[in-house]
Amino acid sequence: MAYVYILQDRISGRYYIGSCLELSKRVLRHKRHTGGRTTSRGDWQLIRYKGCSDIAEARKLEKLVKSYKGGNAFKKIIAGTEDDLERWPSG
């Protein structure tokens, strides 16, 4: 199974959206600052994730969610009240 996930920096409030095959290991890498764009800063917390059938589907959904960033659809995903996507579990 693959995952799309959303992290939030507890310090700045910024969001990071990513996809991976092993969610727990990937989130741990972000928290240890050894994971890509989150390496140099932040206190990252997993706030939402969604399972996908494969990594191709996860990357497609990741791209879609990134296109929502800053808009009402993204706010609905964060709040757990989105209408157009299945409910996302909290982190």
Question: What is this structure's pTM?
Answer: 0.84
* pLDDT band, very low/low/confident/very high, at 31 (cuts 50, 70, 90): confident
CA 55 to chain centre: 14
Contact call for residues 17 and 61 (beta carbons, < 8 A): no
Report residue 71 as tokens.
Answer: 């808009």
86 domain-assigned:
no
For residues 28, 34, 40, 42, the Cα torsion angle rounded to the nearest 10 degrees is 0
Q: Which residues pair with 45 in a beta bridge?
A: 8
| Angle, helices 72-79/55-68, rounded to nearest 10 degrees | 120
Count of domains forming the chain: 1
Identify whether 89 is part of a domain: no
Please give the share of the chain, as a percent, with pLDDT higher than 90.
48
CATH number of the domain to which 39 belongs? 3.40.1440
Q: What is the pLDDT of residues 34-73, one digit of tens each?
A: 666 666 677 889 999 999 999 999 999 999 999 988 888 8
In a domain, 15, yes or no: yes
Answer whether residue 91 is part of any domain.
Answer: no
